[in-house]
């Protein structure tokens, strides 16, 4: 049940997640939930992402070029590492998590007199040059005579990768990052397809505990945001079991009261959480003795 994990990841992840939870529970007066784009949230999420230069600049599929060697002094080396870090930060910029876009259901007119005029629908697209794709008029005239705007699905065909069966295959092969990249290229940031694929990826990652795959890459901010939502739903025990596993003795002083508050207030499986906490306390007591 317990998979081996990088002991370096989980303490930071644990402390950051508890900070996020703290932000949420906060004071009883705070009724406004923090959004993804708040400065504090972004700060915490960047810290979780980490800055593993090796992984960011790992060899991606490019043209084969022979490596170049440069001779430089220590000061120059520092400068170059610094600029490399800045570029890595830019590369790690999190794609924003937007609320789901509303489906389009506008009916422009209903003409009963036209019923039965043709067996096929007519799809009219306005090809004016300067309008963005979201605002384009794509209008469908049904054989029943109703004139309606085209829904988001009709405007764009989804990639076959994003069907359920194919997603499972891809996850078994550990291609989560590639799926998320493809998804970002293919769909708009607030389409329901995009959100659905991201949710499926995060669920799978959380089930398989493969957090390491996403460490120091772009989507991990979104992953933690999603897990934060999960904490409010009754699936959190896995996460807490991971965080407070007895093996994880290198945990710095993560304030224990936050999970307790969470367990009392919002968790629906308070028993699990408390058990996990007790196990952790026991083992930490044993180790210290």
Partner 1 sequence: MVCKSLASFLLKTYHGGHIVIRLAMAGHKQPNRPFYRIVAAYNKRARDSKYIEQLGSYDPLPNIYNEKLVSFNSDRIKYWMGCGAHPTKPVAKLLGLAGFFPLHPMTVTEAERRRGLAELAEGAAPEEVDKQQEL
- Choose which of 21, 141, 167, 273 interacts with partner 1 (CB under 8 A): 141
Regarding 122 and contact with partner 1 (CB under 8 A), the answer is yes
Binding mask 8-47 for partner 1 (x = CB under 8 A): ----------------------------------------
Task: Tell me whether residue 69 or residue 129 sits nearer to partner 1 (CB atom).
Answer: 129
Regarding 104 and contact with partner 1 (CB under 8 A), the answer is no
Residue 277, phi then psi, degrees to nearest 5: -65, -40
State the burial class of residue 50 (Cβ atoms within 10 Å of its Cβ: 0-12, 13-18, 19+): middle
Regarding 120 and contact with partner 1 (CB under 8 A), the answer is yes
Regarding 137 and contact with partner 1 (CB under 8 A), the answer is yes
Q: How far is the CB of 136 from partner 1 (least distance, A)?
A: 10
- Choose which of 30, 51, 91, 117 interacts with partner 1 (CB under 8 A): 117
State the burial class of residue 134 (Cβ atoms within 10 Å of its Cβ: 0-12, 13-18, 19+): exposed
Regarding 123 and contact with partner 1 (CB under 8 A), the answer is yes
Per DSSP, the three-state class of 127 is coil
Per DSSP, the three-state class of 140 is strand
Which of these ranges, 118-126, 159-167, 168-176, 179-187, lies near partner 1 under the rule CB under 8 A?
Answer: 118-126
Which of these ranges, 68-76, 80-88, 124-132, 252-260, lies near partner 1 under the rule CB under 8 A?
Answer: 124-132
Regarding 77 and contact with partner 1 (CB under 8 A), the answer is no
Residue 248, phi then psi, degrees to nearest 5: -85, 65
Residue with tokens 């998320």: 180
Q: Are strands 146-149 and 138-141 parallel, antiparallel or unpaired?
A: antiparallel
Q: How far apart are CA 189 and CA 99, in angstroms?
A: 9
Q: How far is the CB of 56 from partner 1 (least distance, A)?
A: 42
Regarding 249 and contact with partner 1 (CB under 8 A), the answer is no
Strands across the sheet containing 146-149? 107-110, 146-149, 138-141
Q: How far apart are CA 132 and CA 261, in angstroms?
A: 47
Closest listed residue to residue 202, CA positions, set 182, 186, 217, 180: 180
Which of these ranges, 11-19, 75-83, 111-119, 244-252, lies near partner 1 under the rule CB under 8 A?
Answer: 111-119
- Choose which of 105, 129, 165, 253 interacts with partner 1 (CB under 8 A): 129
Q: How far apart are CA 217 and CA 262, in angstroms?
A: 29
Q: How far is the CB of 163 from partner 1 (least distance, A)?
A: 17
State the burial class of residue 236 (Cβ atoms within 10 Å of its Cβ: 0-12, 13-18, 19+): buried
Task: Tell me whether residue 146 or residue 238 sits nearer to partner 1 (CB atom).
Answer: 146
Regarding 121 and contact with partner 1 (CB under 8 A), the answer is yes
Regarding 132 and contact with partner 1 (CB under 8 A), the answer is no
List of residues contacting partner 1 (CB under 8 A): 108-109, 111, 113-129, 137, 139-141, 145, 147
């Amino acid at each position: 049940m317990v998979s081996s994990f990088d002991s370096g990841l989980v303490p930071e992840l644990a402390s950051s997640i508890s900070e996020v939870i703290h932000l949420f529970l906060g004071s009883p007066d705070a009724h406004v939930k923090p959004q993804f784009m708040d400065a504090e949230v972004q700060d915490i999420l960047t810290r979780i992402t980490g800055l593993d230069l090796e992984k960011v600049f790992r060899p991606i599929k490019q043209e084969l070029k022979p490596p170049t060697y440069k001779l430089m002094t220590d000061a120059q080396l520092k400068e170059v590492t610094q600029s490399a870090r800045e570029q890595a930060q830019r590369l790690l910029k999190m794609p924003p998590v937007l609320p789901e876009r509303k489906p389009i259901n506008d009916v422009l007119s209903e003409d009963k007199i036209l019923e039965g005029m043709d067996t096929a629908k007519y799809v009219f697209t306005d090809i004016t040059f300067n309008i963005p794709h979201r605002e384009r008029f794509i209008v469908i005239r049904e054989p029943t005579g109703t004139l309606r705007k085209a829904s988001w699905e009709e405007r764009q065909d989804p990639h076959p990768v994003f069907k359920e069966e194919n997603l499972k295959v891809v996850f078994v092969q550990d291609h989560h990052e590639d799926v998320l990249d493809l998804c970002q290229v293919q769909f708009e940031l607030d389409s329901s397809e995009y959100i659905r694929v991201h949710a499926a990826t995060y669920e799978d990652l959380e089930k398989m505990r493969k957090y390491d795959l996403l460490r120091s890459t772009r989507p991990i901010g979104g992953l933690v945001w999603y897990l934060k939502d999960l904490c409010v739903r009754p699936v959190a025990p896995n996460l807490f079991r991971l965080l407070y596993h007895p093996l994880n003795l290198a945990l710095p002083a993560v304030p224990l009261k936050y999970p307790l508050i969470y367990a009392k207030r919002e968790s629906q499986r308070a028993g699990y959480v408390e058990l996990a906490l007790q196990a952790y306390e026991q083992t930490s007591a044993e180790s210290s003795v």
